[in-house]
Chains A and B, each alone.
Chain A
Amino acid sequence: MRIVESSVSTPEQSRTLKSMFEARKQVFVDLLKWDVPVVDGRFELDQFDDEDAIYVIVAGLEGQHLGSARLLGTTRPHILGELYPTLCAGPVPTGPDTFEITRFCLGLGQGAARRRETRNRLVSALVSTALEHGIRRYTGVAEMSWLQQILAFGWDCRPLGPPCAIGGSLLGALEIAITEQTPRLLEANGIWVSDDLRNGSFAEAA
């Protein structure tokens, strides 16, 4: 288990992780009614939350979770490969430079403006993380109701196959190419938050 968003100091990390699993339960189980396991009635954790999962977390000044995403390597079991390979028209994209974005989560109760800031910081952190760690491609399974917003971030995104109605929602598989140009693409859409701003006191700026 690894946290890569560096604004969280080490002693705060377990608190941040805990509040992330709580926020995931509030968002995915309580709000979106996903049928996923809940631990202790408070935390959403599944079989992919293991020691190799990587978490990109945007946290407030006290280390509390604001937004997060889970990255799974595609050379290990991951959601597209294990659960939804049929969403890909061709083979499921895998490789050491390909990671899957899962559990993209914006914590509740932030208000619309703060929520948008958290979203921008999280998307920017995902891109920075990729650039720092040699990740050239993200994949992911998305509800098509979010597709327009995912595309509007401005990054280079492609469908991997036709969407399918599964469990009451229309799901589709996407891939996002990450290059040195990606921050510029996000910037043109007002999404990009530079590393300096993300790691400073940005969360508290009014």
Chain B
Amino acid sequence: MRVKVESLRKSFGSTPVVDNVTFTVEEGELVTLLGPSGCGKTTVLRMVAGLERPSGGRIWVGDRLFSDEKSFVPPHQRGIGMVFQSYALWPHRTVFKNIAFPLEIQKHPRDDIEARVREVLGAVALEGLAERYPHELSGGQQQRVAVARAIAQKPTVLLMDEPLSNLDAKLREQMRRELKSLQRDLKLTMLYVTHDRLEALELSHRMAILDHGKLIQIGTPQDVTENPANDFVAHFIE
């Protein structure tokens, strides 16, 4: 579903962290939020998720208003999937139980849960590891479990917060390709936070570049590389 973010603002105390950011993510589109650390990209993502309350502005997903001055839908009622930088796999639950969690919460019948978990395990190529615990998996495998858990509930939007930053260079490249094809196959609407320009250039349909909480430029990778809006963008993309 289409995500629309309008004049989004967030300040901690008197310091603005996100300053009047507006953009949309069309259905089936992958938009990356790119910028140096501390530019406010993760805060934008967490506001879309509902993990932070915006200081101002509006967020829609499809026709639903998630957040404005008066109303705020808590994260568990938004139906959004999210992959965390640390993966946030629950160490006391097996891979199967991690992935089944959202379905258990929605009280699906057991057989449906079983089938759906097998399906997403297949999608991320993790068949056979269902009964392992997270600490028994490699970093790449953990990453896949995190993705599988996020898509198990068929989210309207999938958010990713630097999902590949904990992997080594070679694995990162492979996972990038896999994520790309997963997004295409499942026609996922995705908002993807990264500080790695290569990742952004390869994955994005469009990329949004942030600096000091402000959205500097948004456009296709080609647009941005060929017509950088200012020196900062030009330097950053180089």
Q: Do A and B bind each other?
A: no
A-binding residues in B (CB < 8 A): none
Residues of A within 8 A of B (CB): none
